[in-house]
Each structure stands twice: as structure tokens, then as C-alpha cells.
A and B are shown apart, each in its own frame.
Chain A
Amino acid sequence: MERNPLRRQLQIMRKSLFDQGYLDEQFVQLEELQDESNPNFVEEVVTLYYRDSARLILNIEQALERKPYNFHKLDAYMHQFKGSSSSIGAKKVKAESTLFREYCKSGNGEGCMRCFQQLKKEYTTLRKKLEAYFQVARQAGPMETACRPK
């Protein structure tokens, strides 16, 4: 049990992100790449993800404003978006991306639209939770970790 109150808060926040299904195993893999030479690796990767994916979100929004829908283009954008989201372990976002593809394949424009609204909610919620998490992590400072023997 972590005695430092900030570290304890961080543990609780982290556990909640996994227990509530926002993050998956991939996030743990990213954390394992973080070390003394790369102390903010996870936050940097997540920041790059939100920067990169904002462009894709905009592309999808614009594509959904044009009728008839170009499902091939929508699928291509979402393919890229899903790959990026999976790379940071964004579990709920990834699930909505998969559902979106199903709607694209069946040519269901309404379904795509509804799914995309839900995806944006999950995407934004995750960003807020991660921003809060990293803020506490910065306040808590670097954790001393045992070196894994190589």
C-alpha cells in the first residue's frame, strides 16, 4: 500500500482507468517503456496521440457532413484512427472504432453518425481523465523503481 498520499491517489486513479474499461494492457506496456532517461514517455505519447488524432476526428466529421456518405473514405479514416487509439491502449475508443467499421461495411449512415458521437464522447472523457492523471503524476514526482535485471 502506497503511503505517500499523492502516490496513493495516483494508484487509485490508475486502477479506476483500467477497472472502468478506459485503458487496456497496451497502456501498461507503454508505462514499462518509461524510465529515468524517459520519465514522461507515456504523457508524451498520449499528447502526440491527441494531437495526431484530432486531424482524423476532423476528417471524419467533415466526411459525415457530405451526402451521400463515402463509406470507403470513412472506413479508411477510422482504420487509421483505430490503429492510433489501440497504440495507447484506449479501450473504449477502440471498441467504438470497431463498431463504426461495421456500420461502414453495412452502409449504415445513421449508425455511423450515432457511433461517431459516442466515440467522440469516449475520446474526450479519456483525454480529461488522462490529463488529470498526468497532473497528479507530475505533482507526485518520479517514482523510484527497481531496475529489472537484464
Chain B
Amino acid sequence: MAPAFPSGDDRADFGTGGHRQFSFHDIVLRNRLTALVVDGVDFCRLVEQGFLRSCGLETQGVNNGDAAVELIASGAKFDLIIIDMFLPVMDGLETTRRIRALGERCKIVGVSAYIGENDREAFLAAGGDVFSEKPVSPEVLIPILRELDGQYSNI
């Protein structure tokens, strides 16, 4: 049975003055999913990994693109990779290209503080799947996790 999301009417007002659609607690995964977070800022990585763990994923984090590429090249497997476009030394676009060049076909989500149409196109051309404003929201992430979870359930 697919995870069900509460409707807008079910959501309590959290004191923000409005209704919220999704929370990271709203998803229940049936399969073990893993994620890699690539972000040069320690506390941002902490937050991103925290959200993924609250959804039930096992996570790993690295603070630069080289480390991410090395990890994938060493054989580490992930269902999802979240990459900040603004990384020290090797940027997120080049990191994405190199991960794809290794033959890795997992879902890659690119995040950036600024998003323009050119940025999105460049990321998709580099082999990325979803481009999102940073920080990635439950509205973006939960449908992706449902899809990944569903893929395992269909095997």
C-alpha cells in the first residue's frame, strides 16, 4: 500500500498562519533506502541528513565533490544523492557529471540557493534529475522518496 499523505484539511496550523501540505514525518518507507548528501557547509549537511533520517533513510554526508566521486568510485551505492551546486573546489555540476560518468544511475537532486532556468538546464544536461531551491522541501523530496520506495516494491 502506498504511503498516504494527509489532506490540507488534516494539517494543524503550526503557528505560521497557514496550512502546510507535507512534513518529513509524513512518509513511511517500506524499503531500506540510502542517501548521500554532498554539501560544503557542515550545519547544512546536518540539517539535510536529519530530514532524510526522519523519513527513514540511512544517510552519509561528504563536504566536497571529490569525496563524493571517490565514494561512488569505491563502489558505495545510494538510492538518492543530494548535491549542493555551490561546493568548494569542484562545483556541483562537475560532481554530477563525474558521478554519471562512473555509470551511477541513482536519482540525483541538485540544490542551490539561487535557481534560474539556465541553472536548471545545465544541471539536467549534466545528468541530474531534479533541481530545487535550497533547502530542499518535503514537497519536493517526498514524491521522490515515494517513487524510490515504490521501485523496490515493484521488484
Q: Which of A14, A15, A32, A87 contacts B25 (CB 8 A)?
A: A32
| Residues on B with beta carbons closer than 8 Å to the beta carbon of A83 | 41, 44, 84, 86, 112-113, 134
Tally the A-B contacts, defined by beta carbons under 8 Å: 80
Q: Which of A29, A48, A49 contacts B23 (CB 8 A)?
A: A29
Are B138 and A52 in contact (CB-based, < 8 A)?
A: no
CA distance A19 to B17 in the complex (A): 7
Q: List 20 A-B contacts (CB under 8 A).
A: A11-B15, A26-B135, A29-B51, A29-B138, A33-B50, A33-B51, A41-B50, A45-B43, A48-B43, A52-B43, A76-B86, A79-B113, A82-B114, A83-B41, A83-B44, A83-B134, A86-B134, A87-B44, A88-B47, A148-B25
**Is the CB of B78 closer than 8 A to any CB of chain A?**
no
Are B43 and A87 in contact (CB-based, < 8 A)?
A: yes
CA distance A89 to B21 in the complex (A): 17
| Residues on A with beta carbons closer than 8 Å to the beta carbon of B24 | 29, 32-33
Task: Please give 16 more A-B residue pairs, beta carbons under 8 A apart, in addition to A28-B14, A33-B54, A80-B113.
Answer: A11-B15, A18-B15, A18-B16, A18-B17, A25-B137, A28-B16, A29-B51, A29-B137, A32-B24, A33-B50, A79-B86, A79-B114, A80-B86, A83-B112, A83-B134, A87-B43
| Residues on B with beta carbons closer than 8 Å to the beta carbon of A92 | none
| Residues on B with beta carbons closer than 8 Å to the beta carbon of A26 | 135
**Is the CB of A66 closer than 8 A to any CB of chain B?**
no
| Residues on B with beta carbons closer than 8 Å to the beta carbon of A29 | 23-24, 51, 135, 137-138
CA distance A88 to B113 in the complex (A): 13
Are A25 and B44 in contact (CB-based, < 8 A)?
A: no
Question: What DSSP secondary structure best describes chain A's contact surface?
Answer: helix
Closest A residue to B16 by beta carbon equals A18
Q: How far is the CB of B85 from chain A (nearest CB, A)?
A: 9
Q: How far is the CB of A140 from chain B (nearest CB, A)?
A: 15
Closest B residue to A14 by beta carbon equals B15
**Is the CB of B102 closer than 8 A to any CB of chain A?**
no
CA distance A24 to B84 in the complex (A): 21
**Is the CB of B73 closer than 8 A to any CB of chain A?**
no
Chain A, residues 88-122, CB within 8 Å of chain B (1/0): the string is 10000000011001000000000000000000000
CA distance A18 to B46 in the complex (A): 23
CA distance A87 to B43 in the complex (A): 9
Are A25 and B50 in contact (CB-based, < 8 A)?
A: no
Question: In the complex where A29-B23, A87-B135 touch, is A45 in contact with B47 (Cβ < 8 A)?
Answer: yes
**Is the CB of A84 closer than 8 A to any CB of chain B?**
yes
CA distance A91 to B133 in the complex (A): 14
| Residues on A with beta carbons closer than 8 Å to the beta carbon of B54 | 32-33
| Residues on A with beta carbons closer than 8 Å to the beta carbon of B134 | 83, 86-87
